[in-house]
């Protein structure tokens, strides 16, 4: 039916060509003609042969494209398959494959002679590249298409039982509402269970509430208040965990009318040890770089969960004794049983929670988001306290936050969350003590580590050394050795030899003494750079060499 349909591309607008079906059914041709039907069954792209081998299609890379096809109908006698792309950011360098004869139900692959495409050497994060393959064999002509995302700004934690996408702009699960940019959140063999995950922050400034976030405003609209400094990065192994991530963003996209002027550094950790294989840790450092006091500051994570085959049978609960926001399907019949939870690991900064029945009408103690999610509603959910700890059985969302707490101008705040999954709510609840113990390990080992044997306070702030020197970019981290004279925040930045700032590396709070500070390396080329450290108005600079 498909291969004998009457083509419709010639009467479509250019944007729709090849995207809304092959053609109109021609019943007579379907009954009277025979033809091959060569269809794509598997494909992959790789940067291992010509690129940097990190598994992601980055700017300027050359990629190989491997495909496998199956002929579902009559034998093909001498098939030729070609690859093309309408993308202006990619060029097909080798796009021909002589498939030859393909028997009925037979398969063929170009693994021995893959297609080759060259990406433009220009940074275009999350650019979609469409690939079109055309099959010709005598009078038979057919085509199909696939796509990939060039230079994704997001990365997956996937080393243990949780697979979750983290981004460089505050989104969790997906970097869009369509569910294309990311893997969502999956536990073992489960389907994705999150529709939307978003960072949300708010404060009172000059007696007015300000909120910055990347959560939805309407059903198909999303706030984009945060801008990332670079792509999110995931390293294996990390300084502490088997897999660690790093990203930085700030609310530069928010209009001045409600911009907080905050900078967020996110470090993420995934362990493989059995007791922690069902969790991923999120360590946020939030810096108020404005000149204003952020009164009643609140910051949290918003999740719209879709667990099981029908999101209308979910329930959201809050366990205050565990500081746990929990969600699961009440039917007990998802294909793979799964419950998910978000644990607040820093309740010393206060905490708030709002459980949302998505289809609710708005009321004093209710927020529905089917009709939109306004800034006013977000501030209410962030700052009110514990509201609706037990939801209805319906499509649900949750917002778990720290606060309210004052965040002075120039000061920073560390907050932490653990994302936990299990086959049952009890599995998730039983994992909370492990998450708290590991959080203590993370904050103790990843934050500045005092060096024993030195009782006297250093006489000056000093950047002592960096190790190893030179450092290998493939190792992902360095250790910065400092002498700190007074209690306060330490800021690290990377500059090129011309004095241009390339990246902010860290913000850490340290007590007086000598400390060792693990620092994740950004994605830069091999070469010599300047590491600049600032603390209490003092600046120290040291050249460092980075090698591949």
CATH of the domain at 57: 2.60.40.10
- What does the alpha-carbon distance between residue 544 and residue 466 come to, in Å, rounded to a whole number? 7
CATH of the domain at 418: 2.70.98
113 and 213 co-located in one domain: no
Q: What is the pLDDT of residue 272?
A: 96
The HSE-up count of residue 308 (CA atoms within 13 Å, CB side) is 22
Instruction: Note whether residue 21 is domain-resident.
Output: no
Q: What is the pLDDT of residue 519?
A: 86
Mark which of 413, 446, 479 sits at the end of a domain.
446
Over 344-376, what HEC string results? Answer: ECCHHHCEEEEEEECCCCCECCECCCCCCCCHH
Q: Would you call 437 helix, strand, or coil by DSSP?
A: helix
Through-space distance between the first and last CA atoms of the chain, rounded to whole angstroms = 54
Instruction: Note whether residue 312 is domain-resident.
Output: yes
Structure tokens at 160: 């243990």
Model pLDDT for residues 248-277, shown as the tens digit of each residue: 999 999 999 999 999 999 999 999 999 999
Query: b/e per residue, 11-40, with b = 16+ CB within 10 A?
Result: eeeeeeebeeebeeeeeeeeeeeebbbbee
283 and 372 co-located in one domain: yes
Instruction: Note whether residue 7 is domain-resident.
Output: no
414 and 472 co-located in one domain: no
Query: b/e per residue, 110-132, with b = 16+ CB within 10 A?
Result: beeebbbbbbbeeeebbbebebb
The residues with which 79 forms a beta bridge, in sequence order, are 100
- What does the alpha-carbon distance between residue 546 and residue 524 come to, in Å, rounded to a whole number? 9
410 and 526 co-located in one domain: no
Instruction: Note whether residue 93 is domain-resident.
Output: yes
Q: Would you call 274 helix, strand, or coil by DSSP?
A: helix
- What does the alpha-carbon distance between residue 123 and residue 22 come to, in Å, rounded to a whole number? 34
List, in sequence order, every beta strand (DSSP E) within 110-250. 115-119, 127-137, 140-150, 154-157, 162-167, 171-172, 185-187, 194-205, 208-213, 216-218, 221-222, 227-228, 233-235, 243-250
Q: What is the pLDDT of residue 14?
A: 65
Structure tokens at 119: 């990406």
Binning the chain into helix, strand and coil, the percentages to the nearest 5 are 10, 50, 40
Give the torsion through C-alpha atoms of 81, 82, 87, 90, to 10 deg. 120
218 and 319 co-located in one domain: yes
From the list 307, 304, 426, 419, the residue with the least C-alpha distance to 354 is 304
515 and 375 co-located in one domain: no
Instruction: Note whether residue 219 is domain-resident.
Output: yes
The HSE-up count of residue 5 (CA atoms within 13 Å, CB side) is 13
Q: In this structure, are residues 308 and 337 in contact, taking their beta carbons and an 8 Å threshold? A: no
Q: In this structure, how many other beta carbons lie within 10 angstroms of the beta carbon of residue 545? A: 13
Q: In this structure, how many other beta carbons lie within 10 angstroms of the beta carbon of residue 257? A: 7
Instruction: Note whether residue 388 is domain-resident.
Output: yes
Instruction: Note whether residue 120 is domain-resident.
Output: yes
Query: Length of the chain, please?
Result: 548
What are the Cα distances from residue 513, in Å, to 48, 453, 516?
45, 10, 10
269 and 378 co-located in one domain: yes
441 and 475 co-located in one domain: no
Residue 338 domain boundaries: 200-446
Cβ burial of 375 (10 Å; 0-12, 13-18, 19+) is middle
Q: What is the pLDDT of residue 321?
A: 95
Q: In this structure, how many other beta carbons lie within 10 angstroms of the beta carbon of residue 262? A: 27
Below-50 pLDDT ranges, the chain: 453-455
137 and 240 co-located in one domain: no
40 and 88 co-located in one domain: yes
Q: In this structure, are residues 364 and 280 in contact, taking their beta carbons and an 8 Å threshold? A: no
What are the Cα distances from residue 6, in Å, to 36, 37, 519?
16, 15, 61
Model pLDDT for residues 27-52, shown as the tens digit of each residue: 877 788 888 999 999 999 999 999 88
Instruction: Note whether residue 9 is domain-resident.
Output: no
Structure tokens at 397: 């969302």
Q: What is the pLDDT of residue 31?
A: 81
Number of compact structural domains in the chain? 3
Q: What is the pLDDT of residue 457?
A: 67
190: which DSSP letter?
A: P
Q: In this structure, how many other beta carbons lie within 10 angstroms of the beta carbon of residue 172? A: 29
99 and 207 co-located in one domain: no
Q: What is the pLDDT of residue 389?
A: 96
What contacts 126, CB < 8 A, 6 or more positions away? 149, 150, 151, 152, 153, 175, 181
Structure tokens at 290: 């404005």
Mark which of 109, 133, 150 sits at the end of a domain.
150
Mark which of 412, 446, 480 sits at the end of a domain.
446
438 and 515 co-located in one domain: no
- What does the alpha-carbon distance between residue 387 and residue 30 come to, in Å, rounded to a whole number? 61
């Amino acid at each position: 039916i498909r291969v004998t349909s009457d083509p419709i591309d010639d009467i479509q607008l250019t944007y729709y060509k090849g995207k809304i079906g092959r053609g109109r059914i021609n019943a007579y041709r379907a009954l009277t003609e025979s033809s091959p039907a060569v269809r794509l069954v598997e494909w992959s792209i790789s940067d291992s042969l010509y690129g940097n081998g990190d598994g992601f299609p980055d700017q300027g890379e050359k990629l190989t494209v491997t495909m496998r096809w199956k002929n579902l109908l009559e034998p093909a006698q001498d098939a030729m398959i070609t690859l093309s792309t309408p993308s202006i950011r990619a060029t097909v360098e080798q796009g021909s494959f002589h498939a030859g004869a393909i028997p009925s139900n037979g398969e063929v692959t170009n693994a021995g002679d893959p297609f080759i495409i060259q990406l433009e050497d220009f940074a275009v994060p999350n650019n979609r590249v469409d690939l079109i393959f055309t099959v010709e064999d005598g009078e038979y002509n057919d085509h199909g298409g696939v796509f990939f995302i060039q230079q994704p700004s997001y990365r997956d934690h996937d080393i243990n039982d949780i697979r979750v996408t983290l981004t460089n702009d505050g989104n969790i699960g997906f970097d869009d509402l369509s569910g294309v940019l990311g893997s969502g959140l999956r536990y073992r063999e489960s389907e994705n269970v999150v529709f939307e995950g978003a960072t949300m922050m708010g404060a009172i400034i000059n007696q007015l509430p300000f909120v910055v976030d990347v959560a939805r405003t309407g059903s198909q609209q999303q706030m984009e208040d945060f801008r990332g400094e670079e792509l999110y990065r995931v390293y294996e192994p990390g300084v502490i965990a088997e897999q660690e991530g790093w990203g930085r963003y700030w609310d530069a996209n928010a209009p001045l009318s409600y911009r907080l002027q905050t900078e967020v550094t996110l470090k993420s950790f995934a362990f493989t040890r059995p007791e922690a294989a069902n969790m991923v840790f999120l360590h946020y450092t939030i810096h108020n770089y404005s000149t204003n006091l952020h009164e009643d500051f609140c910051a949290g994570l918003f999740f719209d969960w879709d667990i099981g085959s029908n999101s209308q049978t979910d329930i959201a609960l809050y366990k205050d004794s565990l500081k746990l926001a929990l969600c699961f399907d009440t039917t007990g019949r998802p294909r793979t049983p799964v419950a998910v939870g978000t644990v607040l690991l820093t309740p010393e900064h206060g905490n708030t929670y709002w459980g949302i029945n998505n289809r609710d009408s708005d009321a004093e103690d209710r927020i529905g988001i089917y009709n939109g999610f306004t800034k006013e509603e977000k501030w209410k959910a962030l700052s009110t306290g514990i509201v609706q700890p037990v939801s209805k059985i319906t499509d649900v969302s949750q917002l778990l936050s720290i606060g309210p707490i004052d965040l002075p101008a120039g000061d920073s705040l560390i907050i932490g969350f653990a994302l936990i999954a299990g086959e049952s709510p009890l599995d998730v609840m039983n994992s909370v003590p492990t998450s708290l113990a590991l959080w203590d390990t993370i904050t103790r080992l990843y934050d500045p580590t005092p060096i024993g044997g030195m009782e006297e306070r250093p006489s000056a702030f000093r950047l002592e050394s960096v190790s190893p020197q030179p450092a290998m970019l493939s190792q992902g981290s360095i250790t910065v050795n400092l002498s700190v004279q007074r209690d306060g925040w330490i800021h690290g930045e990377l500059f090129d030899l011309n004095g241009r700032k390339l990246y902010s590396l860290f913000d850490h709070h340290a007590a007086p003494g000598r400390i060792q500070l693990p620092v994740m390396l950004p994605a830069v080329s091999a070469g010599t750079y300047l590491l600049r450290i600032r603390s209490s108005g003092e600046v120290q600079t040291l050249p460092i060499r980075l090698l591949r």
